[in-house]
Structure 1
């Protein structure tokens, strides 16, 4: 799945990793492309009682029950509106299939290890455990999310939800 972006000159041969970029509010995020199973439009979900607000419910995806997490609510960015342009990224992490609601999917970029900078330690109130780092692509700041750490965290309740 090789896709160039013009300004980024990186292939797997030089240690570059590919990231799917997506938007939440006015911010742009990136996640490891190898975790992505598919990208689809937002469908109605079946709500499950006593789940956090950011877990919108579940869908049946070809016989697999998939929890749907609204990343806009989870990260407290943007407005959680559901329309024809709302996108769900279906990911496969920790032997689980999970759907992530985002505002939009932008691109696939290849980033060499030296392009990724560590996330700054800003304050105790800001949780940076789920950030893999920051990168600049074509004058845009990209926030790289460690999607496995995020989805595997106890507060996500995804492991218990599926059990």
Structure 2
């Protein structure tokens, strides 16, 4: 007599229609990472260099008793290096059950983006960069590059970088 309940349809079907991201600048481009992947954002700290590490790994820092690897996202993406300044920040993220710090030029804002504003990256994007992208979003007159931070770091890289 009673039928099985049907799964909800529309915006209440369990998917969040609005996602939150932390925006940052890197080589004059706007990027963002899902806020759920971010542990915290910190000022630059003294970095202990590691011999024979990949060029994009700057070294290690002590973050309240935890030693974490620091990755320069400019180097990771093959962008031109620049001097660190008062705007430079480290975004501490959780990837592959590890904590990693990512050096960025500046953190810009926390933003809410509707899921339907996110577009897949175009097929013409270089193969190397394509693998890191979660999508693209238009905000006003800017194009925002949404990173899939899990894909920026391979599990073996984060495992090898963490002591």
User: Smaller-chain TM-score range?
Assistant: 0.7 to 0.9
Aligned twin of 1:161: 161
Aligned twin of 1:62: 64
| Shift in Å, 1:80 | 2.7
Aligned-residue Cα RMSD (Å) equals: 2.0
Per-residue Cα deviation, 1:24-62 (whole angstroms, up to 9, x for no partner): 011000110111111111112011111111100000111
Q: Structure 1 13/118 Cα, relative in aligned 2: closer, same or farther at 3 Å?
A: closer
Aligned twin of 2:38: 36
1:69-148 superposed matches below 5 A: 69-122=71-124, 125-148=127-150
Aligned twin of 1:19: 21
Q: Distance in 1 between matches of 2:46 and 2:56?
A: 15
The range that moved more, 91-100 or 122-131, is: 122-131
Q: Distance in 2 between matches of 1:111 and 1:24?
A: 20
Q: Structure 1 14/99 Cα, relative in aligned 2: closer, same or farther at 3 Å?
A: closer
Q: Distance in 1 between matches of 2:133 and 2:57?
A: 20
Q: Structure 1 70/124 Cα, relative in aligned 2: closer, same or farther at 3 Å?
A: closer
Q: Which of the two has higher C-alpha Rg? A: 2
Q: Name the SS of the counterpart of 1:52 in structure 2.
A: coil
Per-residue Cα deviation, 1:54-109 (whole angstroms, up to 9, x for no partner): 10000011111100000011113353312222111111122111100000001111
Q: Give the gaps of 5 or more residues in structure 2.
A: 1-13
User: Normalized against structure 1, the TM-score is what?
Assistant: 0.84
Across the two proteins, how many residue pairs are aligned to each other?
A: 150
